[in-house]
Amino acid sequence: MSDIIDPKGSAPVNPRSNVFVDQTRGQEQVEGSEVRAAAYGCLDDGPVLVRSTNPPMKHRGLTIGTLTMVTVSLITFWMPGLGSLMAGVFGGFFAKRWKRSFIAAALASVAVPLILRFLDIMRPEQGLHDLYGIGMVNWTIVHIVSLFIGTAIGVYSCPLVERSGGLRQELPE
């Protein structure tokens, strides 16, 4: 890798090294004395293990699939068949397994009509006038059927390796 050269004519800088200043001294000592600096560089470009400080999410696929289905369904509730079909496809794809995706679809098919009904009750004029032609009961039926169809499409569109549990490789000793 070539060094980056500053156009002002200063010395070349290696982008892979960083300089850290030791700040253990007080401000009055740093001003008049020599500042100690330590530089480090990358030794190799091998794989790096990154650990998160957050606790691991237990049912990650189910949670992400359900939240995706609920969010997309609420955003596109005004398209009775197409919106929930899209929500099922996206949520099923993120859930990646048949069982998880159908549980997520069941949770979303209960949560979305309840949220819409709650929002309708909170309005001063009740009657969900956005669904005049189809009605809430028929909208719920269309929503549930198309959500489950979209879920099946979403899971089936995942690669077979991800649907069956991922790669199972033996690591060399």
What confidence tens digit (pLDDT) does each residue in 73-128 have?
A: 999 988 888 999 999 999 999 998 899 999 999 999 999 999 988 888 887 776 65
Q: How far out from the chain centre does Cα 87 lie? A: 15
The reply to whether 121 falls in a domain is yes
pLDDT at 146: 96
The reply to whether 129 falls in a domain is yes
Q: How many domains does the chain have?
A: 1
The reply to whether 38 falls in a domain is no
pLDDT at 168: 53
Which segments of 46-96 are extended strands (E)?
none
The reply to whether 44 falls in a domain is no
The reply to whether 7 falls in a domain is no
The reply to whether 8 falls in a domain is no
pLDDT-derived band of residue 160, with 50, 70 and 90 as boundaries?
confident
Question: What is d(CA 98, CA 100) in angstroms, rounded to the nearest whole number?
Answer: 6
Neighbour count for residue 59 (Cβ, 10 Å): 13
Q: Domain of residue 85: give its range.
A: 60-163
| Global confidence as pTM | 0.61
pLDDT at residue 35 is higher than 70: no
pLDDT at 31: 46
The reply to whether 103 falls in a domain is yes
Q: What pLDDT, in 10s, does the model give residues 42-75?
A: 555 666 666 666 667 777 888 999 999 999 999 9
Question: What is d(CA 80, CA 122) in angstroms, rounded to the nearest whole number?
Answer: 22
The reply to whether 173 falls in a domain is no
